[in-house]
Structure 1
Amino acid sequence: MPLQNASIKVTAFIIGGFDTTKRPMVVGGAILVVYVLAIFGNIVNILFIISDKRLHKPMYLLICNLALVDILYTSSASPTMIGVLLAGVKTISYVPCLMQMFAFHLGGVMEMFALAVMAFDRLLAISCPFQYHSYLTNVRTLGLTCVLWIVACCFVSVMPATVLPLPHCYTKLKYTFCDYAGIIRSTCVDPRLGVVLTLEERHGLMIGTVLGPSLVNPFVYCLRTKEIKYKIFNRLKKVEASQ
């Protein structure tokens, strides 16, 4: 039977690609540490902005939104990779896989949207310093952010909607986590086709793409933003004084 006409009912996927990973416990442990640091940094960033009314300004609301995006983006894939490498869980159900794919691509799209609107905020502040506060209020900032989330959800929902009606020819995913390419590969793409990057290089690129920005962003905005940096130093001084 031709490959394109073969179809099976898939209830779960087998996550492949990690069999050749050297020292999976070390790799999984490193991913776990970076993931925890990224989540911790972004949560601290959000709590600082929410707890201080002086930071309730458009720029800090956008930083808070970026932190939420980073949490979503890194959480869409990292737990699966950690589970495969540390716990040996190499299967994922069909529906959670689609949900993970949606969250992963939503995080990627929103990362670009969030950075773009932050750049627009700084451009407006530099170009129109006197009218800035009247042009970009907190209400307008929140409204713009909500619109971006809605647009991103509508855009990304096309991917799982495209995948659902496709016939599945394989139950094994060849990628690190459930992304759009992995689902398509599990449908009717011959796995014997050659690729440019090796499996290890592709894994490293994916992991760096997911974890890198989510880890760096909170530290960059905390250390380069005067108000947040001042608040952190004050908290540390209070802790040292109490000890």
Structure 2
Amino acid sequence: MDNVSVVRVFTLSGINETMNYRIAIFSLTLLYYCMILFFNISLIIIIILDENLHEPMYILLCSVCINGLYGTTGFYPKFLLDVLSSSQQISYEGCLLQAFVMYSFACSELSILAVMAYDRYLAICRPLHYHSFMNKRRLSQLICFSWLTPFCIFSISIILTSTLKLCGSKLQKLFCVNWMIVKLACSDTVSSDVLSYATTMIYVFHGFFIIWTYMHLIKTCVKSKDDRVKFMQTCVPHIVSLLTFLVVIVFDLMYMRFGSTNLPQSIQNFIAIEFLLIPPMMNPLIYGFKLAKVRNRIVGLFNVRKK
């Protein structure tokens, strides 16, 4: 325990190899972040202002966009500052906060996608009972569940991490991740490990629930042409969003725990931030173009401006 010290600042070393291109990286990242803000905020405003879109599916889509803004705001502003800074450091408290944001964002995304799958299941498989099941109160409860569950879990996780004695302060990442902080611990990490495995099981269950709903959806849609049309219009965007998110987040988690460190740093960085690059930009675009009511509303706005 001689090497134990009180860590007050972490060094983020993931950005070191890209410093020769800092102006280009800063400009492209700022542009991309502004595009994420524009598309997500635009879709949120459209849904809020148009009473015809005050339906569970669109309210859940609004929740997805809000979550995208939450997660990307936890990364991009700090990253932009780091690109322009000579030293990429973050305070101990700031690092724990960023780790909390990253994890809660990812798990909230999966929870909201699970609720959206349940909403589509009710709309297509049990249409006569849809409005009684998916009323305003039930919808509010489900949205609160999708946000508060990961917030509570990762609040406990971050509190446990904050009690650990650390033997280092260097993180091989562009941003703070709870798992990477725990790896620096000199003390026993059993509590953190148990919570980590329990959390994994909770969200694996989310995945099985989504699979179960789509098994019933596909079974129902095979029998009815109208249901097939509804499935193509409302479920395909959800499937694309879900698969994209699962692929990028699982790939990142698997690489973080089992991947080789011999890959070039730029590739490691891309793997690490895929879930902050692709879903937050893709979700508002794919839903905006695919969902007829949203698309018609956007087209209507452009026609009004032309007149």
- TM over 0.5, shorter chain: yes
Match of 1:203 among 242, 257, 269: 269
Q: What percent identity do the matched residue pairs reach?
A: 28
Aligned residue for 1:15? 12
Moved over 3 A (4+): 86-89, 185-189
Quickly say closer, same or farther: Cα 1:176–1:226, change in 2 above 3 A. same
Aligned residue for 1:162? 160
Q: Does 2:299 align with 1:233? A: yes
CA contact (8 A) 1:57 1:138 kept: no
Aligned residue for 2:103? 105
Return the letter of the residue paired with 1:234: G
Instruction: Report the CA distance between 1:99 and its aligned residue.
Output: 0.8
CA contact (8 A) 1:29 1:86 kept: no
In 1, Cα distance between equivalents of 2:306 and 2:153: 49
CA contact (8 A) 1:168 1:186 kept: yes
Bigger RCO of structures 1 and 2 (CA < 8 A, at least 6 apart): 1
Aligned residue for 1:217? 283
Other structure's SS at 2:90 match? strand
Quickly say closer, same or farther: Cα 1:136–1:180, change in 2 above 3 A. same
Quickly say closer, same or farther: Cα 1:36–1:16, change in 2 above 3 A. same
Quickly say closer, same or farther: Cα 1:195–1:144, change in 2 above 3 A. closer
Aligned residue for 2:227? none
CA displacement 1:61-109 (0-9 Å, x = unmatched): 1001111111111111122222211344511111111111101100000
Other structure's SS at 2:61 match? helix
In 1, Cα distance between equivalents of 2:87 and 2:35: 23
In 2, Cα distance between equivalents of 1:31 and 1:228: 28
In 1, Cα distance between equivalents of 2:163 and 2:70: 27
Aligned residue for 2:25? 27
In 1, Cα distance between equivalents of 2:186 and 2:3: 8
Other structure's SS at 1:219 match? helix
Structure 1 regions of 5+ residues with no counterpart? none
Instruction: Report the CA distance between 1:25 and its aligned residue.
Output: 2.5
Aligned residue for 1:81? 79
Aligned residue for 2:173? 175
In 2, Cα distance between equivalents of 1:55 and 1:195: 44
What is the number of residues matched between the two proteins? 234
Instruction: Report the CA distance between 1:9 and its aligned residue.
Output: 1.3
CA contact (8 A) 1:76 1:104 kept: yes
In 1, Cα distance between equivalents of 2:76 and 2:185: 24
- Paired residues for 1:46-85 under 5 Å: 46-85=44-83
Q: Taking structure 2 as the reference length, what is the TM-score of the superposition?
A: 0.71
Instruction: Report the CA distance between 1:28 and its aligned residue.
Output: 2.9
Q: Which has more helix, going by share of residues? A: 2
Structure 2 regions of 5+ residues with no counterpart? 188-257
Aligned residue for 1:124? 122
Instruction: Report the CA distance between 1:188 and its aligned residue.
Output: 4.3
Return the letter of the residue paired with 1:98: L
In 2, Cα distance between equivalents of 1:32 and 1:183: 27
Aligned residue for 2:113? 115
In 2, Cα distance between equivalents of 1:121 and 1:55: 15
Other structure's SS at 2:15 match? coil
CA displacement 1:174-202 (0-9 Å, x = unmatched): 2110111332244349xxxx951423222
In 1, Cα distance between equivalents of 2:22 and 2:106: 26
Aligned residue for 1:137? 135
In 2, Cα distance between equivalents of 1:229 and 1:195: 41
In 2, Cα distance between equivalents of 1:5 and 1:217: 49
CA displacement 1:143-182 (0-9 Å, x = unmatched): 1111221211122223212211111222222211011133
In 2, Cα distance between equivalents of 1:209 and 1:25: 23
Point out the more displaced range, 112-121 or 76-85.
76-85
